[in-house]
Chains A and B, each alone.
Chain A
C-alpha cells in the first residue's frame, strides 16, 4: 500500500515536472503590450485602419494590442502618448493628427526606451523610431499623371482640399501642383476650397461652383469622400456626364463610383496593406530582430479596368 502510494506520488511528481516544464515553454513566448494611438476614430479612413490593425494583431499571439482614440485633437493625442509611456507599453504606434505637434511626444517614447512606429503619416527624422506609411505625394502624383493625358485643353477644374496642417492633405496638394498644374498652364482652377475630407462640405462647395461656372471639366480631390460629395451634386445632370474626377484612398464608395463610370480614378491607400506591414514591423521590433525600420506600401491606381478586384476586396472586408 505504502509502495503504491510512493509510486503514485512519484508519477504525480513527474507529471508535475512535465507540466511545469511545458508551462515554462509556453511562458517563454513573451507577450508584448502594444498601444495604437489612432488619429480619430471618427475619420472613416482612420477607423478602417484601426479595425484592420486590430484584425491583423489577432494573427500575432505574442502581441496584445490596445487602441486609443486621439479624437482628432493634438492635445488629446499627446496625453495619450504620455499615458502609454507611463504605462510602460513595449511598443507605441502613433498615427499622428499633426506630425509636428506629436513630434516631441514621439521623441519622448524613444527616450523612454520604448519601441516606436509612426504611421499614416510618418513623422520624419526621429532617431531610433521606425515608420510605416504610404507616400502621400506619390498617391496623388500617380493619378495626377493620368489626369495630364485625360483632362481636356483649356479645362475648368475645381479642387477640394483636406484639413489645413494635415501632412497627407498638403503633400497630395503639392503633388497635384507639381505633377499637373505646373505642366498644364491651360487649365483654370475655377474653385478651390477646404472641405476637411468631408462629403457634405464638398457637396455644398460643388453646388455653388456649378452655379458660378458654365462648365466644370474635372474634380480634383485630395480624398475620395470629397470627390464623392462633388459627384453627388452633378449626378443625373446630362451636362456633367463626362466630368472627370480624381481622388485618393480607394474607399468602398469610390470603387463603386468607378464601376458605375462616374469617377475616373483613385489611388488605393489600403488600410489592410498598412495594417499588415505595421504588425510585421511591430513583431520585428518587439522581438529585437531589428532596431529601426522605415517602409512604404505601394500606391496602386484604381480605374475602370481593374476596379472589380477592389470591389471584391471591400466586399470581403464587409465594407460593402
Chain B
C-alpha cells in the first residue's frame, strides 16, 4: 500500500516536472561535453537565438490549449516584418514601423479567426491557406528581392538594455504576458475549458467563437513583434525569411508539454521546451554534428515528446477511472 503511494508520488513528480528534469539533464550533459557551453556568453547566445521562435511558441501554446493551431506564423512574420521595414524606410519612424508590423499580423490572424469560427474551417487548413497567402504577398510586395540599408531599425533585434539583448527582453515580457493571460484572466480559463471540452464550454455559457478570435488576435500581436525582431536581427527585409519557423514554434510548445488535443499547456512549459530545443541545437553545433544527423535528432525528439504526451494522457485517464471505481 505504502509502495503504491510512493509509486503514485513518483509518477506525479514525473508528470509535473519530467520535462524540467530533461532540461536539467541536457544542461548537465552539454556542460560536460563542451566547456564553452556553460559560458555566460553562450547562454546569452542561446537565449537570443530562441527568442523569436519562443515568442511564436507562446502564441502557438495559447492556440493549441484552446484546440486551435497556427501554421501561418512564419509567413505572417515575414510579411509583417517586411512591411514594417518598408514603412521605416519611408518614414524613419520606429514607432510607426512597430505598429504596422502588429497591425498586419493581427489582420492576418483575424482572417484566420474568421475562417475558423465563421466558416468552420479546420485551423490546420485555414492557417495553411494563410501561410501561402502571406508568403505570396511578401514576395509580391518586394518582387522576391530583399530590402537592405535598414539603418536604425536594427535597434529592435541587435540592441541591448544594459547587458541584456533586446530580443531576450521581448521574449521575457511576452512570456510574462502569456503566463498572466493563461493563469490569471477569464480568457485564459475559457481557453483551457474550450480546449478541454468544447461542448461543455458552450454549455457553461462561454462565447467560444469570441474567445477563439481573441486567441488569434493575441497570437497576431506576438507574431508582429517577432517579425520586427527578426528583420532587425538579420539587418534586412527578407521576404523569404523565417521559413519553417512555424514548426520550430510548434516543437517548443509540444516538447514543453502542451497537448495537441487541447486543454493542457503552460507558458513555463513552453519556455522549457524552447530551451531544450535551443540547448540541443547549440551543443550539436558546438561539437560539429553533421546537418543531416541534426535533422534526425530533432525529428526523433518531437516523436518522443508526442509519445510521452500520449502516454501521460492515457495514464492520467486510467488513474481518474481508477479513482471513480
Contact = CB atoms under 8 A, between A and B. Distances in A.
Given A42-B139, A208-B285, A212-B285, A200 B148 contact: no
- Residue of A191, A192, A211 with most chain B CB atoms under a 10 A cut-off: A211
Contacts of B41: 211
Nearest to B43: A211
Nearest to A232: B235
A43 to B, nearest CB: 7
Nearest to B144: A47
A48 interface: yes
A209 interface: yes
B142 to A, nearest CB: 8
Given A43-B240, A200-B230, A211 B143 contact: no
B285 A191 contact: yes
Given A42-B240, A191-B288, A211 B42 contact: yes
A4 B161 CA distance: 94
A50 interface: yes
A199 B135 contact: no
Contacts of B234: 199-200, 203, 229, 232
Contacts of B235: 232
B236 interface: yes
A44 interface: yes
Contacts of A50: 144
Contact of A47 (B45, B48, B143, B241): B143
Contacts of A211: 36, 39, 41-42, 45, 282, 286
Contact of B144 (A46, A192, A229): A46
B239 interface: yes
Contacts of A209: 285
Nearest to A320: B148
Given A200-B238, A211-B39, A256-B148, A47 B139 contact: yes
A44 B144 contact: yes
Interface string B281-301: 110011110011000000000
Contact of B49 (A43, A198, A204): A204
Interface of A: 41-44, 46-48, 50-51, 161, 164, 190-194, 198-200, 203-205, 207-212, 228-229, 232, 251-253, 256, 319-320
Given A42-B239, A209-B285, A252-B146, 18 more contacts: A42-B139, A42-B240, A43-B240, A47-B144, A47-B145, A194-B291, A198-B241, A199-B234, A199-B238, A200-B241, A203-B234, A205-B285, A208-B285, A211-B41, A232-B234, A253-B146, A253-B236, A319-B145
25 contacts: A41-B144, A44-B240, A47-B139, A48-B145, A191-B285, A193-B285, A193-B291, A194-B291, A199-B238, A199-B241, A200-B233, A200-B234, A200-B241, A204-B49, A207-B45, A211-B286, A212-B36, A212-B285, A229-B234, A232-B234, A232-B235, A252-B148, A253-B236, A256-B149, A319-B145
